[in-house]
């Protein structure tokens, strides 16, 4: 799975993968839910990727502490990217 792609879960919900990070050898994705017309909504979810039998699966992070930590990683990355863009201007 790669950022910039759409994924459809077993429950038929579709998500757009916005960003990814690897923490403690586990890949996490920040994703926005897509509506019925496949337009991005404001509903954001953090998924944990697992690999089983060579297949990649996403599961929503339920642990609040892990979710907060991963969200802080995504936020820090975004802030750093914005600051880098300002320096280039």
- CB 31: neighbour CB atoms within 10 A? 28
**Residue 50 — very low, low, confident or very high, per pLDDT cuts 50/70/90?**
very high
Q: What is the DSSP string of 29-52?
A: EEEEEE-TTS-EEEEEEEEEEEEE
Q: Of the given ranges (13-17, 43-47, 83-87), which has the lowest mean pLDDT?
A: 83-87
Determine the pLDDT at residue 34: 97
């Amino acid at each position: 799975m790669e950022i910039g792609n759409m994924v459809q879960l077993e429950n038929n919900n579709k998500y757009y993968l916005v960003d990814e990070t690897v923490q403690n050898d586990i890949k996490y994705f920040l994703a926005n839910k897509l509506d019925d017309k496949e337009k991005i909504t404001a509903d954001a979810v953090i998924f944990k990727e697992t690999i089983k039998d060579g297949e990649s699966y996403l599961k929503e992070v339920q642990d609040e502490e892990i979710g907060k930590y991963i969200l802080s990683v995504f936020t820090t990355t975004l802030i750093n990217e914005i600051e880098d863009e300002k320096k280039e201007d």
